[in-house]
Amino acid sequence: MVNNTPTTTTYTVETEFLNLDYSYQGLTPEQISDYAQTKLPANFTKLKQQLIQGEFKNKTENRNVSHVLNRSIHNVVKAGNGKNRFTEIVRSLRSGQWLGATGKPITDVVNIGVGGSDLGPMMGSFALKEFADDNSLHTLHTHFVSSMDGGQLYAVLPIIDPETTLFIIASKSFGTIDTLANVNTVKQWLQPHLTEEQWLSRHVIGVSANNQAMTDFGIPPSQQLSFADSVGGRFSMWSAIGLPIALTIGSNQFSKMLDGAKAMDEHFAEVDDPTQNIPVLLALLGVYNREQRNINNVAILPYDGRLRYLPSYMQQLDMESNGKQATHDNQPLTTPTGPIIWGGYGPNGQHAFFQHLHQGWDTFTADFLAVLHRHAPGFSPAVQAALREQQRLAVSNCLAHRKLMWEGHTSDDARNTYIGNHPTNLLYVDELTPHSFGAIIAAYEHKVFTQGVIWGLNSFDQPGVEKGKTCATDILKVIDGQADTTFDASTDSIIRRM
Ligand SMILES: O=P(O)(O)OC[C@H]1O[C@H](O)[C@H](O)[C@@H](O)[C@@H]1O
């Protein structure tokens, strides 16, 4: 006996690069269609068009929302017919022609950034590594440093050489303390090897929406890559912020990632039927689970190791966008909005947190992500065959666990009883490619946008991250002995101990 009978109908939407199976949501297309009528505003089509054309208003920050244009008219690869600063930097570094100040080719690139200036580039570089075009015989190692405490730098500095390392300082604002603190430590580390002038002249690229700050820092104009202020940090991997991805796979492959996202933009904009539109469906199912089933969390469970950084990326994309309690015109909201996003690489989760999912007490919903086929180029036929078998192994586990989470399993033995009834999505692609990867991420962006519209909030600001920053500044002054403010017993006792 099972809690939910096995599905007899498959509910699937297919697009050029991404497919969605929502058969285990317990809702028919007719029910979703009715629900859409009550949830989507009458002007939704117009709002979608505004987003696609870069004309949607981020009212609280008084600017447009233009990240979608990075896939079309502001395409950083195609600008100037592909002959521009971005592609030139990528070509020069990937070919080994970019020499450091002492004449040696750059072998390592360290991206220093945090939040949107770290999560997307890191996820994309890791996911798409095997698509590196082979125009480059020169090997470039890419590293990511984001942590404020310097723990990542501590691990990276011993394995890089100052004379052959280039640092990307990636920061939309160029003022984020985490990033500046890491940069400051790098400068101390460099001192015995390079002068600051040498370092700035050949070992730094700035990526920012704040050109003045890059200039003030001393980065030569030819090493500055800028992007529009109207591109939100968590939506910026399509802009120059995606440089580490392009350095990993080449500009042409990076461009394919943008094209995959663009294909999803077109699907989102053009398909009016909400039950045939993947981002709108994801949004509606999410709102339904939040509001009708009171489920406050979504587990992101990729079943392909190349997507292992997707859950962290999604946390910022979704939670920073829709974790709000006020509407875009500053009225208090009375019903819950964006859920908690969490998750991890699915197969490893099976050996860690899935016990709780199957038999614990909490409700959840999940997005399973599966890649159906794998070519695994670059290895002998025997190794390729073994890797393909591993892919099939992962997909079979993905299908098994989502089935069990929905249907449950009843046994005479209470220990072997599974609760089931957990609604989940399956997002799947035939292959993970730059195209399909771009489509997955764009689908999630548009889901977040649609939910923000439904809840009437502004998905493009993040006022709630600011107070913590000012409070931390006040506390640091006391720790550094520059002030003697007291806070509360617990905080004060830790400060004293420091
Ligand atoms: O790119 P940056 O300006 O350095 O910002 C890095 C991150 O920090 C901020 O606190 C925001 O909450 C994030 O949205 C942003 O991505």
Distance in Å, CA 322 to ligand 1 centroid: 16
Q: For the beta carbon of residue 195, count every other beta carbon within 10 angstroms.
A: 11
Q: Is 34 helix (H, G, I), strand (E, B) or coil?
A: helix
Co-location of 332 and 207 in the same domain: no
Co-location of 269 and 318 in the same domain: yes
User: For residue 268, what are the domain limits?
Assistant: 12-64+255-455
Which residue out of 83, 351, 466, 467 is catalytically annotated?
351
Domain membership flag for residue 319? yes
Tell me what ipTM this predicted complex has. Answer: 0.99
Co-location of 85 and 46 in the same domain: no
Q: Are 412 and 230 in contact (CB under 8 A)?
A: no
Rounded to whole angstroms, the Cα distance separating 126 from 309 reads 8
Domain membership flag for residue 234? no
Co-location of 436 and 291 in the same domain: yes
Q: Assess whether 351 carries a catalytic annotation.
A: yes
Q: Assess whether 469 carries a catalytic annotation.
A: yes
Residue to substitute in 60, 118, 172 for testing ligand 1 pocket (most ligand atoms within 8 angstroms of CB): 172
- Quick one: pLDDT at residue 354? 98
Strand pairing class (204-208; 165-170): parallel
Ligand 1 contacts CB of residue 176 (under 6 A): yes
Strand pairing class (12-14; 224-226): unpaired
User: In sequence order, what DSSP letters do the residues of 314-375 get, joined into one string?
Assistant: HIIIIIHHH--SB-TTSPBP-S--SPEEEE--HHHHHTTTHHHHHHSS---EEEEEEE----
Q: Are 113 and 179 in contact (CB under 8 A)?
A: yes
Residue to substitute in 111, 118, 119, 176 for testing ligand 1 pocket (most ligand atoms within 8 angstroms of CB): 176
Q: Assess whether 16 carries a catalytic annotation.
A: no
- Quick one: pLDDT at residue 2? 47
- Quick one: pLDDT at residue 4? 77
Which residue out of 163, 320, 407, 445 is catalytically annotated?
320
Distance in Å, CA 173 to ligand 1 centroid: 7
Domain membership flag for residue 249? no
Co-location of 402 and 269 in the same domain: yes
Which residue out of 187, 356, 469, 477 is catalytically annotated?
469
Ligand 1 contacts CB of residue 321 (under 6 A): no
Domain membership flag for residue 199? yes
- Quick one: pLDDT at residue 136? 61
Co-location of 399 and 290 in the same domain: yes
Ligand 1 contacts CB of residue 358 (under 6 A): no
CA atoms within 13 A on the CB side of 231: 28
The number of folded domains in the chain is 3
Distance in Å, CA 179 to ligand 1 centroid: 10
Distance in Å, CA 359 to ligand 1 centroid: 38
Rounded to whole angstroms, the Cα distance separating 326 from 306 reads 36
Report mean pLDDT in 10-residue bins for the chain, 498 residues.
73 98 97 98 98 96 96 96 97 96 98 98 97 80 97 98 98 97 98 97 98 98 98 98 97 98 98 98 98 98 98 98 96 96 98 98 98 90 95 98 96 94 98 98 98 98 91 95 96 95
